Structure 1
Amino acid sequence: MAGIGCLPQPHQMLLLPKQRNHGVLQCCSNNPNSRKERTQTPKFLKLAVTGVTELLRLLSQSDKNRSDTINSQIDENLVSNIDDILMIIKSDYEKAYFVTGHFTSAIYADECTFEDPTIKFQGRDLYSRNLKLLVPFFDNPSIFLKEIKKGINPKAKYIIASWKLRTHLILLWRPLILIDGTTTYDIDDQLRVIRHVESWKISALEAIGQIFTPGFLRSDK
């Protein structure tokens, strides 16, 4: 997930005992399925999420000089085609990068665009920091990869992955967050991901609304 949503800082929350085990994303994509799932997000919500995310980033005590990725030094010779990129992304899903913050940064352009229905920004390092800020809010999260495949548009290279995110948040009422989504990875001629675009099957308002719904009121699995 790229954005923090309207969450307070962990030390300002009514915390449950720690049970730890990512913002989620959408942009201009060549994939028609992304456009189908796109829903309009009110401007005030995007501004609020952007503001909260930036505030948390500035207040974060994490060491910005520390590496935030699991494998930023991959051998570029190992990436010779889009299938190699697909396998790396699949491996990152197996490591649950949305909810751990660990991903292979070397396959992303420095100024890669990241977007979900609530926020849009550029920079793989900023994306990494945003993911790291989300991790403390999750209680036993999971990300299930449903499918990952190459795009079929001959004029553009892209990979599309569909997934399901499930997690409780560490709040007193323990809200349950369930999001089915799709991420499109647009790839340039240098085999670098230049856009990481998330779309959700629910609206941004519905997603934010889950935060304020007690988890015991939902039995979704």
Structure 2
Amino acid sequence: MAPSLTARAFPLVSPRLISGAKNHRLLSVRCHSGSPGSGGDDNGAPPVVRAVVSAITELLRALSPSKKTRWQAVESVNTELELSHSVEDVVALLEADYARAYFLTGNFTLGIYTEDCLFEDPTIKFRGRSRYSRNLDLLVPFFDSPSLQLESIDKGLRLDTNFVIATWTLRTYLRLPWRPLIAIRGNTTYDLDEEYKIVRHAESWDVSALEAIGQLFVPAPRQTGI
């Protein structure tokens, strides 16, 4: 999702996270909400990347079972119970979300995001926590033997904006005939408003957008017991 804004602040962010400012953004199909013109922004991505991501998203949308019932259940959760009152509260809630592997399960704390939270990736950006949840749900049925490892999580201050930055490693096979392996190490920056709600969720990773998408087309080696 767009260039990293991980300026050093109090407390200091690890130098290896600052290097993430040069990274590209996480595989955009996870946050893609539809075709161009659906309220997003191409975010300066190469046309070939946008075209491939759009095609993959529509294919997954066609193949994926309906998630309407689950989303309605999530929407009915009393988000007042999920309010955070400090940066430390946000860190604790995010740690719980990572423990639930929210990238891979779609199970995250809805109430710590503003309704119009901005989500960014290398090819698209859009607003809306409900849209983000639906996009996660779109991918969940295709994950096979997934894992999400939280490596570190830190808080910081950029000008007058509090933020949290998490470094993670994601690994999963996809339930496609050739069973590709997606393996990415990246970080996510969460910008907070004055009420300690997340207003921007921006991801970066250690491979280029083309390399990340290329993983989708490489058959995984056959391994016994997987």
TM range (shorter): 0.7 to 0.9
Alignment of 1:138-153 (within 5 A): 138-153=143-158
Give the one of 2, 18, 23 matched to 1:37.
23
Alignment of 1:91-170 (within 5 A): 91-170=96-175
Tell me what 1:194 maps to: 199
- Structure 1 residue identity aligned to 2:219: P
Q: CA contact under 8 A between 2:4 and 2:204: conserved in structure 1?
A: no
- Per-residue displacement from partner, 1:81-134 (whole Å, max 9, x unpaired)? 111011101100001100000100100011101112233211000000000000
In structure 1, distance between residues paired with 2:95 and 2:129? 18
- Per-residue displacement from partner, 1:129-180 (whole Å, max 9, x unpaired)? 0000000111010100000010243532100000000000112221111000
In structure 2, distance between residues paired with 1:150 and 1:124? 22
SS across alignment from 1:80: coil
SS across alignment from 1:92: helix
SS across alignment from 2:178: coil
Tell me what 2:74 maps to: 68
Name the CA shift for 1:110/1:79 in 2 (closer, same or farther; >3 Å): same
Name the CA shift for 1:179/1:206 in 2 (closer, same or farther; >3 Å): same
Q: CA contact under 8 A between 2:186 and 2:204: conserved in structure 1?
A: yes
Tell me what 2:186 maps to: 181
In structure 2, distance between residues paired with 1:71 and 1:95? 17
Q: CA contact under 8 A between 2:23 and 2:208: conserved in structure 1?
A: no
Equivalent pairs: percent with the same residue? 45
Tell me what 1:5 maps to: none
Q: CA contact under 8 A between 1:185 and 1:195: conserved in structure 2?
A: yes
In structure 2, distance between residues paired with 1:113 and 1:54? 22
Q: Normalising by the residue count of structure 2, what TM-score does the alignment of the two structures yield?
A: 0.75
Q: CA contact under 8 A between 2:3 and 2:22: conserved in structure 1?
A: no
Q: Which runs of 5+ in 1 are unaligned?
A: 1-25
Q: CA contact under 8 A between 1:57 and 1:133: conserved in structure 2?
A: yes
- Structure 2 residue identity aligned to 1:44: V
Name the CA shift for 1:81/1:188 in 2 (closer, same or farther; >3 Å): same
Name the CA shift for 1:179/1:29 in 2 (closer, same or farther; >3 Å): closer
In structure 2, distance between residues paired with 1:52 and 1:157? 35
Tell me what 1:46 maps to: 50
Tell me what 1:10 maps to: none
Q: List structure 1 runs of 4+ shifted beyond 6 angstroms.
A: none
Q: Normalising by the residue count of structure 1, what TM-score does the alignment of the two structures yield?
A: 0.76
Q: CA contact under 8 A between 1:70 and 1:103: conserved in structure 2?
A: no
In structure 2, distance between residues paired with 1:53 and 1:113? 19
